[in-house]
Amino acid sequence: MKQKDFNQIFVTVVASRSAAPVELLAQIKNGPVLSARRALEVYQEDYEARLTEALKNTYRGINAIIGDEDFFILSQDYINTHPSSSSDLDDYGHLLSLHLKDHQLSKDYIFLPELAFFEWNFREVFHQEQIPGLSPEGLMACLENDRDMLRLCSSLRLLHFNFLITSLYALKDEEDKENELIYEFPEYVLMYKNGVMVKTITLSKNQFEILKKLLAPASLQHCLQNAPATVTPDEIQTLFTILGTERLLLKLN
């Protein structure tokens, strides 16, 4: 068998963790310590272990909530249907949120797809470069000028969930996970780079709606003029304090 053909079959057998066909085994020498079949199993076990570990690293929150046993089942299901095509193992798992939407586990843990989405965004923001935006003074100046177009920094995510995802995510650091958490409330989250770390802040719905307008470049005056009717001065004040002190808005030239 040509090496090229061997590679194709070998990769399929390792990734599917299926029994090796006779023609593949015939290419592999029975070693003095490991038989051909056992050697192949070593690669199959290692493949599963590496990809599971990569998922665990990214989805610590999910792992903490569902436990190692269920996480292992989830990983196996995901690995079976999602081969890796990236050169970096740390990239593995970007479709887990989608995968969870139809997964049995999401019947018991209804928030899992959203938690996975949160954790993947967390990972993405972690790897982003932090480009400091406008200072509080710069922001004040833009408030007075309708022609200054602003947008949100690229290392920032504006996320809307149907559950209290940041509280669920925080469970990974808590000793007693049995404490009952009432999580069936919507949550609006601002996630951004803070130094080398990732920070999250829960926003009100009104604050979220104002910021949404800055996903496309817009002037601050436009955002405020089109703010929800129920927004309070306190909500605006708090929002702009965060945006200024954390330098989260960029001015377009």
Partner 1 sequence: MKKIKKSDFPGMTNIFGLGLRSTHYSYLEQRPATAAGWFEIISENYFRTRGRPRKTLELIREDYPVSCHGVSLSIASFQKFDWNYLKDLKAFYDEIQPFQVSDHLCFTGLSNNNLHNLLPFAYNRENLIHLNDRIDQLQNYFGRTFAFENLSAYFDYNNSTMTEWDFISELARTTECDLLLDLNNIFVNSFNHKFNARDFINAIDFSKVAELHFAGYSNRDGFYFDTHSNPLYPELIELYKFVLEKKCDIPVLYEWDEDIPAFDILEEQIKILKSVREQHKQ
Which residues here bind partner 1, judged by CB under 8 A? Answer: 1-4, 6-8, 10-12, 14-15, 26-29, 31-34, 36, 39-40, 42-43, 46-47, 50-51, 54, 83-90, 92, 126-129, 193, 196-197
* Residue 50 or 101 having the CB closest to partner 1: 50
CB-based contact 249:141 (threshold 8 Å): no
* Residue 114 or 246 having the CB closest to partner 1: 246
Q: How far is the CB of 220 from partner 1 (least distance, A)?
A: 28
Q: How far is the CB of 144 from partner 1 (least distance, A)?
A: 33
Q: How far is the CB of 172 from partner 1 (least distance, A)?
A: 18
Name the residue with tokens 């920032």: 156
* Residue 85 or 179 having the CB closest to partner 1: 85
CB-based contact 54:79 (threshold 8 Å): no
Q: How far is the CB of 242 from partner 1 (least distance, A)?
A: 21
Tokens of 52: 């599971």
* Residue 29 or 147 having the CB closest to partner 1: 29
Nearest to 98 by CA among 76, 123, 85, 81: 81
Number of neighbouring beta carbons within 10 Å of residue 5: 12
* Residue 31 or 67 having the CB closest to partner 1: 31
- The sign one gets for the Cα dihedral 248, 163, 169, 81 is negative
CA distance 53 to 78: 13
Q: How far is the CB of 126 from partner 1 (least distance, A)?
A: 5
The interaxial angle of helices 112-126 and 36-58, nearest 10 deg, is 90
Number of neighbouring beta carbons within 10 Å of residue 74: 25
